[in-house]
Amino acid sequence: MDVIYTHCAGLDVHKKTVSVCCMTAGPKGERLIEHHSFGTMTVDLLALSDWLTSKQVTHIAVESSGEFWKPLYNLLEGHFDILVVNAKHVKNVPGRKTDVKDAEWLADLLRHGLLRGSFIPPQPQRDLRDLTRQRTNLVQDRATVVNRLHKVLEWANIKLTSVATDVTGVSARAMLEAILQGRVLPQTLAALARGRLRKKLPELERALTGFVRDHHRFLIANHLAQIDFLDEQIGAFNAEIVKHIEQQAALPPTQPSQPDTPKVDERLASSTAPLDWRTAVELLDTIPGIGQRLAQQLVAEIGTDMSRFPSEAHIASWAKLSPGNNESAGKRHSGRTGHGNRWLRTSLIQAAHAAIKVKNTYLRSFYYRLAGRRGAKRAIVAVAHRILIAAYHMLVRHEPYKELGATYLDERNKTKLVKRMTRRIEQLGYQVILEPSTASSA
């Protein structure tokens, strides 16, 4: 095979050690192989960088093993062309599994240009990812604590969650605070309801009749304190994310990056510089089902430079939201989507669930059109796929979301739809006469 990179290295990274295989060209063009092992402390990694520099290495392949590749990437970024590769794509021959062999295998594949690196965003986007992902973790932790609070109330025979939608809302919180102060009369607790909840006073009195002990009060108090702490943390992360986006928006625009493949969509070839994060968030916020928080999450995961994705099919495949290819002997097997970026997938699925609740929209009609044939779960994934495709084109064209309408899919096959509906009505014993609505109104 042809040699693409004459000076390259493969790194097998672990928690405490890094096994390195350096492949260079000799005086007559022959392959020279050197093995070395380094520690993972900062001093050791700097020594690794100096050693690779002395060998005139230009390209490095690193296996994406957990979090252990990140310290190495932080120190070598900018000095070498680093490819972080998926371990499933570079699996070695069984029976030859050692750290030295793994490093040599990575270097040999890289030397012949057989590796494709994972998408590693620039440092500012990685920082934004850290913030949005940690905020998601905090939101999930808060939901867990709220569920624990529900359980304690059930143990105390307090059925507040059966009447009030949000147990952490203003009314419910006032009732819980009163319970902590020792007030147990249902009438007194129900009188603390506000707004529309006051229409349910008789139900509230029944729901608030329970047997609350000091043990329950201790648990409720600690759960409420934990919820308050998490609310404070979520607010702090929201502010930091907005600050981070505003700082990036103040920077001069950057040129689009060059994608790995030469086959690029023609619209990308003539596109201007990528949008700044603030403008991208405002555009994505126009998609049904996506709010400010989800828009920030999308920008953190896919960025605003769509030139790294040659087409809409490429970004859908990268996100693992498109059907997989699994065909053998002319038979198609399971087309499951596979495992991709779980943070991006979770955000898009969440957006899809919200989008199908918006009436008279294309996404809602697309969901119900597909759910009857393929099931609700597959239909939700398909809606998430459509949202990602819409976001891709919006970031490419710098345009807001355009609503196609609930009848868009029917209009594309209007003649077939009319014939099918007419035939079904005639099968029921009726005669159908069709007239255009404009003619009947005249």
CB 293 within 8 A of CB 139: no
Of 401, 377, 382, 376, nearest in space to 391 by CA: 401
Q: What is the pLDDT of residues 245-302, one digit of tens each?
A: 999 877 776 655 544 444 445 444 445 678 889 999 999 999 999 999 999 999 999 9
* CA–CA distance, 272 with 267 (Å, rounded to integer): 10
Secondary structure, 3-state, 280-332:
HHHHHCCCCCCCHHHHHHHHHHHCCCHHHCCCHHHHHHHCCCCCCCCEECCEE
Residue 335: CA atoms inside 13 Å, Cβ hemisphere, count? 12
Mention every residue, 6+ apart, whose C-beta is less than 8 A from residue 44: 18, 38
Beta strand 17-25 with 8-13: parallel, antiparallel or unpaired?
A: antiparallel
pLDDT at 256: 54
Is a pLDDT exceeding 80 seen at residue 332? Answer: no
Is a pLDDT exceeding 50 seen at residue 11? Answer: yes
Q: What is the pLDDT of residues 342-400, one digit of tens each?
A: 899 999 999 999 999 999 999 999 999 999 888 999 999 999 999 999 999 999 999 99
CATH top-level class of 8-111: alpha beta
Q: What is the pLDDT of residues 181-229, one digit of tens each?
A: 988 899 999 999 998 899 999 999 999 998 999 999 999 999 999 999 9
pLDDT at 400: 93
pTM: 0.84
CB 10 within 8 A of CB 20: yes
* CA–CA distance, 212 with 200 (Å, rounded to integer): 22
Is a pLDDT exceeding 90 seen at residue 36? Answer: yes
- For the chain, what is the radius of gyration of the CA atoms? 29
* CA–CA distance, 92 with 24 (Å, rounded to integer): 21
